[in-house]
Amino acid sequence: TLLLCGLAHAAPSSTLDAVLERGVLRVGFDAGYQPFEMTNKQGQYIGFDVDLAKMVAKEMGVKVEFVNTAWDGIIPALLTDKFDVIMGGMTVTPQRNLRVNFADPYIVVGQTIVLRKDKAGEIKSFSDLNDPKYKIAVKLGTTGEQAVKRMIPKATLLQFETQDDAKLEVINGKVDAFVYDLPYNAIFASQNTGAVVHLDKPFTFEPLAWAIRKGDQDTLNWLNNYLRQIKGDGSYDRLYKKWFES
Ligand code: ARG
């Protein structure tokens, strides 16, 4: 009876149960990553991930709360329960997967290069940048940083806390290139055609997925089934068109 008693009052065993009990889904991301999560002029979060998170919460019958978190600390923040799930365009990597569980990928992207415009003639692909004379800006803790370290190891790497700071370096010609996810770079380059060019062929393969704490099959099962549903019933496509094709 002692055991039964304990079970009846036990803390929720899954994140899903905790969310339902709380009535709030807490979503971690790092805003500024267009078109997935941005802050508009009114200070509200908007973007592909934001809409997806709202849909998830609505389907669970709970409110949604966004917890903006620096990217290089986002896994520790998940692990210490600052929020329930990372919905922030996180690339599934084997190293991250040692620390968190990922739902099925919701989109696949890759790293691309935004170049200082005057370098467009001499640099045609990532391997042309593999020389200490070239400076490459990346955002700290991203797969962009990893890709440069692994695939362009001789280049001079400059890490920035925010993507905005890294991006400004290329616009101002202080670095030769910026390496980041394709969707971000496509928007970045299209808004700065006078200063940069986009080498838009991805040189890495990167499935992006929602991340939760390990060992939580109930939450993983819910998320994966929900994802399959919205991918099949047209609601995912509607959102995709809204954020990637307009
Ligand atoms: N996909 C890249 C990564 O996993 C960049 C994601 C950045 N996301 C963000 N919300 N700032 O490292």
Distance separating alpha carbons of residues 115 and 179, to the nearest angstrom = 9
Distance 97 CA to ligand 1 centre (A): 15
ipTM: 0.98
Q: Could you report the per-residue pLDDT of 125-140, keeping only the tens digit for each?
A: 999 999 999 999 999 9
Question: Which atom of ligand 1 is the closest one to the Cα of 49?
Answer: 10
Q: CA torsion 151→153→157→163, rounded to 10°?
A: 10
Q: Which atom of ligand 1 is nearest to the CA of 208?
A: 1
Distance CA 3, CA 39 (A): 48
Cα angle value 35/108/149 (rounded, 5°): 90
pLDDT confidence of residue 246: 73
Nearest-angstrom CA–CA distance, 83 and 25: 8
Burial 137-153 (b: 16+ CB within 10 A, else e): bbbbbbbbbbbbeebbe
Q: What is the 3-state secondary structure (H, E, C) of 125-192?
A: CHHHHCCCCCEEEEECCCHHHHHHHHHCCCCEEEEECCHHHHHHHHHCCCCCEEEEEHHHHHHHHHCC
CA separation for the pair 74, 28 (Å, rounded):
7
10 confidence band (pLDDT: 50, 70, 90): low
pLDDT for 3: 54
CA distances from 133 to 86, 154, 157, 158, 170 (A): 37, 9, 11, 13, 15
The mean of the pLDDT values for the chain is 95
Angle at 244 between CA 54 and CA 57, to 5 degrees: 10
Distance 159 CA to ligand 1 centre (A): 14
181 lines ligand 1 (CB under 6 A): yes
| d(C-alpha 150, C-alpha 76), whole Å | 24
pLDDT digits (tens, 9 = 90+) for 37-80: 999 999 999 999 999 999 999 999 999 999 999 999 999 999 99
- Of the chain, the percentage scoring pLDDT greater than 70 comes to 96
- pLDDT, one tens digit per residue, over 87-121 is 999 999 999 999 999 999 999 999 999 999 999 99
Q: What is the DSSP letter of 42?
A: T
Q: Two tokens at 110?
A: 């890759």
pLDDT band at residue 12 under the 50/70/90 scheme = confident
**Ligand 1 pocket check for 91: Cβ under 6 Å:** yes
